[in-house]
């Protein structure tokens, strides 16, 4: 299968020359191993660890394993050999000047990664990898909206941002292409699959995820209930999450629902976007919004059979928002200084789908499936501006499902989803 370049490659290669250890985390099948092999296999030996087989006796004698296999090394799925970590720390401390020595991958933010963060502070680059973005799938890595927003000299206003995006020349995408992209998702292994073959792949993925990955994270007495919980999260994607409500829906206590939500987040199946409150806590919802990290997997969990059926499904709007937000999450991984992502909602129902915060400036973003949003769609942004009149705001943005790039008003740019 043809290799498709990833947005994080340049940053990863550059920073690998600054850190002795590089840790790439992400869900299974997002391309962690392929990425590291492509970038470093010519100079690094590769070991793939397994929960059953003790590869190279790494678990039984990690010291001997690492002494017999000097760096540089790619240690793939290292959560299956956590015994290596304390030895790695000691070896790195013996030669602090040596960089780019060990490249680790893991499918979960397990205690293993907590130990990496604590033991390898200042020694390890931690990077998250998600399913492929739209640009990666099309082999088009030119900077999109995020790169334009966070250029060295930021856009002064909406008109300036509009002109910069126009000069960039990123093409919008038709609604049919968009529906298929949402339906297919971004797992690299599905690029050559026909639409009809996707369900078999996702069935296998779901079973392996629940029976292997989740059981590594926590004891699971009822795998079927966890699968139901995952399907519930797909139905509620792009909505605020409440553990008590989630528990009642499938008959589990709220404590278990919260633990399972943490499991989904830790295994990169769910993205949580925290609520922004500022100084008006009493009037503002503090609940995070949850997004399934891959819209193709979400469609499968919701038993949507085709892009055509997706086009008339009640959750299409939620899946469109999920697609946009997860594309943003993928894009920020390539930035050296990543903006913070928030959402905002009042008790009265006014909301802004996404807020980007960097350098003290906030960029409010509405996400609308409509092909041509109008001023009527800016109510949430206007409410946010009135609530925080002293908050520095950058250009306002409406990301939409059409193809036209234009000014909605003097402060707001309508941006087609193809620019994300």
**Cis omega (within 30 of 0) on the bond before 72?**
yes
Measured CA to CA, the distance from residue 366 to residue 345 in angstroms comes to 12
Task: State the pLDDT confidence band at 322, using cuts at 50, 70 and 90.
Answer: very high
pLDDT at position 282, please? 47
139, with CB counted inside 10 A (0-12, 13-18, 19+), is exposed
Q: Which residue carries 């609604």 as its tokens?
A: 175
Taking only the tens place, the pLDDT of each residue in 396-415 is 999 999 999 999 999 999 99
DSSP 196: G
29: left (phi over 0), alpha (psi -120 to 50) or beta: left
Domain edges within the chain? 9-129, 136-419
Q: How far apart are the first and last CA of the chain?
A: 26
Task: State the pLDDT confidence band at 79, using cuts at 50, 70 and 90.
Answer: confident
CA 410 to chain centre: 32
Residue 346 near residue 376, CB atoms below 8 Å: no
The tokens for 391 are 């908050």
Measured CA to CA, the distance from residue 3 to residue 301 in angstroms comes to 28
pLDDT at position 175, please? 44
174 pLDDT more than 50? no
357: left (phi over 0), alpha (psi -120 to 50) or beta: beta
Measured CA to CA, the distance from residue 260 to residue 215 in angstroms comes to 11
Measured CA to CA, the distance from residue 233 to residue 217 in angstroms comes to 18
Query: Please, what's the largest Cα pairwise distance for the chain?
Result: 67
283 pLDDT more than 60? no
CATH topology of domain 9-129: Rossmann fold (3.40.50)
pLDDT at position 108, please? 58
Measured CA to CA, the distance from residue 420 to residue 416 in angstroms comes to 8
The tokens for 253 are 């206590």
Measured CA to CA, the distance from residue 400 to residue 10 in angstroms comes to 29
The reported pTM is 0.93
Q: Are strands 289-292 and 270-273 parallel, antiparallel or unpaired?
A: antiparallel
Residue 204 near residue 271, CB atoms below 8 Å: no
Taking only the tens place, the pLDDT of each residue in 30-65 is 999 999 999 998 889 999 998 889 999 999 999 999
Of 153, 35, 56, residue with least CA distance to 103: 35
Choice between 114 and 367, residue whose per-residue pLDDT is larger = 367
Taking only the tens place, the pLDDT of each residue in 100-148 is 999 998 765 545 555 665 667 778 888 999 999 998 998 888 768 998 9
Overall size of the chain counted in residues: 420
279 pLDDT more than 90? no
């Amino acid at each position: 299968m043809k290799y498709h370049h990833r947005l994080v490659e340049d940053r990863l290669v550059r920073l690998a020359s600054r850190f002795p250890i590089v840790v790439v985390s992400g869900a299974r099948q997002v391309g962690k191993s392929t990425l590291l092999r492509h970038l470093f296999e010519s100079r690094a030996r590769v070991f793939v660890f397994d929960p059953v087989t003790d590869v190279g006796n790494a678990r039984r004698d990690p010291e001997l394993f690492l002494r017999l296999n000097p760096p540089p090394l790619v240690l793939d799925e290292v959560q299956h050999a956590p015994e290596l970590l304390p030895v790695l720390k000691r070896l790195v401390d013996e030669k602090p000047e040596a960089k780019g020595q060990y490249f680790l991958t893991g499918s979960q933010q397990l205690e293993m990664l907590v130990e990496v963060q604590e033991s390898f502070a200042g020694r390890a680059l931690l990077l998250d990898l998600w399913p492929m973005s739209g640009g990666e799938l099309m082999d088009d890595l030119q900077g999109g909206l995020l790169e334009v927003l966070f250029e060295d000299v930021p856009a002064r206003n909406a008109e300036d941002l509009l002109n910069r995006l126009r000069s960039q020349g990123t093409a919008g995408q038709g609604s049919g292409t968009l529906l298929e992209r949402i339906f297919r998702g971004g797992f690299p292994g599905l690029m050559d699959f026909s639409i009809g073959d996707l369900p078999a792949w996702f069935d296998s993925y779901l079973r392996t995820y629940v029976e292997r990955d989740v059981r590594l994270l926590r004891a699971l007495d009822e795998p079927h209930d966890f699968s139901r919980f995952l399907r519930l999260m797909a139905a509620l994607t792009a909505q605020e999450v409440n553990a008590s409500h989630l528990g009642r829906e499938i008959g589990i206590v709220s404590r278990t629902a919260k633990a399972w939500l943490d499991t989904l987040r830790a295994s990169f199946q769910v993205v949580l976007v925290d609520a922004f409150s500022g100084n008006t806590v009493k009037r503002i919802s503090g609940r995070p919004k949850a997004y399934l990290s891959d819209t193709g997997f979400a469609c499968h969990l919701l038993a949507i059979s085709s892009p055509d059926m997706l086009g008339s499904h009640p959750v299409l709007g939620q899946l469109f928002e999920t697609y946009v937000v997860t594309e943003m999450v993928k894009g920020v991984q390539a930035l050296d200084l990543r903006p913070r992502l928030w959402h905002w909602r009042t008790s009265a129902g006014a909301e802004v789908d996404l807020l980007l915060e960097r350098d003290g400036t906030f960029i409010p973003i509405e996400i609308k499936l409509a092909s041509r949003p109008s001023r009527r769609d800016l109510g949430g942004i206007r409410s946010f501006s009135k609530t925080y009149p002293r908050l520095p705001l950058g250009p306002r943005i409406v990301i939409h499902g059409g193809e036209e790039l234009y000014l909605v008003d003097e402060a707001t740019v309508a941006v087609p989803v193809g620019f994300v």
